[in-house]
Amino acid sequence: METRANFVLVGASVLAAIAAIVIFIFWLGQRQLRQQEIPYYTYFTDSVTGLTTGSTVRYRGVPVGTVGAIEIDPANLEQIRVTLNLKLGTPIKTDSIASLEMAGITGASYVEITGGTKGSPPLFTADGSVPVLKSENSRLQSVVDDLPKLLGKLTQLADSANNTLSPENIRALSMTFSHLESLTANLDGLTPDLKQAAVSFGQVAGDLHAQLPQALTALRQDSQSIKNAADEFRQVASGINTVIDENRAPLRDFTGNGLAQVGGLISQLRDLSATLTRVADHLDQDPQRYLFGSGTAGGIDPNRPLANGVSPTGASR
């Protein structure tokens, strides 16, 4: 009986030793695995439905780690803090961005890391704390958020289509199509005339193209003639300026003294004109008396000779 009890005790001890060795190996492997991973925090403000611990983390589609803890941020209840355990050597830069994406139609989600330019510095913290990776809203979540708006617009579009396809509008469209058919028929009838007009227009264009060089030549000649005339006018103006410059002193004397003399001459001419007017009036009224002076009662002295020995009665001496 004691021998059997010793065998049980030895077996239990051996099993306990084996279990301890297995646990030690597993712990050592986990520790070594943790040493080959770098944790990062990222925060999401939208729902993280479908994301679970152990979900894949991808860098531009390449698996680079797994999702660790998923918990509400103690500092901000509106955010969800997700721990990302990434492989050592994953190129996480300061401009890298994490987003939540859906894997197919199964409903499972994963974290996609994008961005990260070559010239950007690596993301790390100087005090050894867990670095925080920037995040953005999921494209799928954006689509879900915009879905009600899209449905509303589709409803409005359907209502507008129903209003557009009302019986009145359908009749109006039918009449419009009928008018278009009539117009097309009329255009078919006018096709020969349009062709002839196109041919005539082509001929006119050809004539203009043929006559255009001659017109341009004539225009150049006219331009040269106008230029020559302008040069001659400029020369005449220059000559007039020269004459004025040469006779500036005589013109000044004329305007100073000559104009006064001209004024006196005009006054004398006015007096002479008045005298001649009076003489003409006297000659018109009584030319005989004005020429021969006053005579006898009859107006003429009969004894006064008229001319060359002729008497007033008309007989010669």
Contact by Cβ (8 Å): 88, 37: yes
The phi-psi region of residue 54 (left if phi > 0; otherwise alpha if psi is between -120 and 50; otherwise beta) is: left
Percent of the chain with pLDDT over 70: 69
Taking the C-alpha atoms of residue 126 and residue 179, their distance in angstroms, rounded to an integer, is: 80
CA 139 to CA 116: how far, in whole Å?
A: 19
Q: What angle do CA 141, 145, 146 make, to 5 degrees?
A: 120
The predicted pLDDT at position 221 comes to 77
Domain ranges of the chain: 35-138
Note the pTM of the prediction, 2 decimals: 0.39
How buried is residue 194: exposed, middle or buried, by Cβ count under 10 Å (0-12/13-18/19+)? exposed
Centroid of chain to Cα 63: 49
Does residue 43 surpass a pLDDT of 60? yes
Backbone CA torsion sign across 231, 235, 236, 241: positive
pLDDT at res. 314: 45
pLDDT value of residue 313? 45
* DSSP state for residue 258 in the 8-state scheme: I
Looking up tokens 């954006």 gives: 142
Q: Model confidence over 234-264: pLDDT tens digits? A: 787 777 777 777 767 776 766 666 666 777 7
pLDDT of residue 96: 92
Q: CA of 105: how far to CAs of 101, 109, 110, 137, in Å?
A: 11, 10, 13, 19
Residue 37 CB contacts under 8 Å (≥ 6 apart), including other chains: 65, 85, 86, 87, 88
How far apart are alpha carbons 14 and 17 in whole angstroms?
Answer: 5
- Convert the pLDDT of each residue in 13-31 to its tens digit: 778 888 888 786 766 555 5
The residues, ordered by sequence, that sit 6+ positions from 12 with a Cβ below 8 Å of its Cβ are none
**226 vs 44: which has the higher pLDDT:** 44
What is the pLDDT at residue 160?
Answer: 77
Report the pLDDT value the prediction gives residue 203, as an integer from 0 to 100.
Answer: 78
Both structure tokens of 78: 């509106």
Q: 83: pLDDT confidence band, cut at 50, 70 and 90? A: very high
C-alpha span between 101 and 114 (Å, rounded): 12
Smallest CA-to-CA distance from 95 within 58, 125, 120, 124 is with 120
Q: What pLDDT, in 10s, does the model give residues 145-162?
A: 666 777 788 888 877 777
Tell me the per-residue pLDDT of 153-208, one tens digit each, with 9 for 90 and over: 888 887 777 777 677 777 777 888 787 877 777 666 666 766 677 777 777 777 77
Q: How confident is the model over 95-136, as pLDDT tens digits? A: 999 998 887 666 688 999 998 888 889 888 888 889 999 998
Determine the Cα–Cα distance for residues 69 and 41; give it in Å rounded to an integer: 10
pLDDT tier for residue 294 given thresholds of 50, 70 and 90: low
Confidence class for position 308, pLDDT limits 50, 70, 90: very low
Q: Please give the pLDDT value at position 70.
A: 93
Closest CA relative to residue 89, chosen from 52, 51, 60, 59: 59
